[in-house]
Amino acid sequence: ETGVTQSPTHLIKTRGQQVTLRCSSQSGHNTVSWYQQALGQGPQFIFQYYREEENGRGNFPPRFSGLQFPNYSSELNVNALELDDSALYLCASSRASTGYEQYFGPGTRLTVT
Amino acid sequence: DAKTTQPNSMESNEEEPVHLPCNHSTISGTDYIHWYRQLPSQGPEYVIHGLTSNVNNRMASLAIAEDRKSSTLILHRATLRDAAVYYCILRPHQTGANNLFFGTGTRLTVIP
């Protein structure tokens, strides 16, 4: 158990809809990163938030957006869902001052039909 | 981002040592070598990291080649719980920029 929690565990949405996924970081961690993991692939970096600001972004379109709150929890929002967005979405928290270890949550399984 | 190359899969007998190789020929001088593993139905889990010298912790050892173009993760006695996908990742040493770029990793099967 890493202390990073994600909700919901599973979610089914229809193409074109919007979805919000939530993450609570481990106590004392001020950096949150989001990853998308398709079946059989390694996680792909979406973006990172540090002190409530986006601090790096991977190769994902603008319909993937996020927020970080003052308590360092975070949301991932995906608009205009596509079938290819079906994946496991992982969040990871870390201390930006060291950053050597990222602590991952169990993920949210999103299915788009 | 510098890439790593790992075998797709490996097998090991329970209670025997396992050596998981990783090639990273384009590594830069400031890249740290990180290893994570992902057990079935879980998020990835940090295992170990290093820069130039070999490293040991309670989970594993990391052996880094002198030219840093390759490294090996060593599990000293494989258990069934070690069955997972192991990812070798290069991470630039930049404050705050601690995002990770995963490849497809090595799937380790442990045979009882």
**pLDDT tens-digit readout, A67-96:** 999 989 999 999 999 999 999 999 999 887
State residue B1's pLDDT score: 58
Give pLDDT, residue B62. Answer: 98
Task: Give the number of C-alpha atoms closer than 13 A to the C-alpha of residue A103, restricted to the C-beta side.
Answer: 20
CB contact under 8 A, A4 and B43: yes
B5 touches chain A (CB under 8 A): no
Provide the residue type at A26 as one letter: Q
3-class DSSP state of B91: strand
pLDDT by residue for chain A (113 residues), tens only, comes to: 678 999 999 999 999 999 999 999 988 888 999 999 999 899 999 999 988 999 889 999 999 999 999 989 999 999 999 999 999 999 999 887 665 788 999 999 999 99
Q: What is the average per-residue pLDDT within B35-58?
A: 94
| Whether B102 contacts B4, CB under 8 Å | no
Distance from CA of A44 to the nearest CA of B (A): 7
Q: Using a CB-CB distance cutoff of 8 angstroms, which residues of chain B are in contact with residue A94? A: 98
* Nearest in space to A51 (alpha carbons), one of A72, A65, A66, A35: A72
- Cβ separation A45–B96 shorter than 8 A: no
Beta-carbon count within 10 A of B35 CB: 24
Q: Which residue in chain A is spatially nearest to B105 when comparing CA positions?
A: A42
Q: What is the pLDDT of residue A27?
A: 85
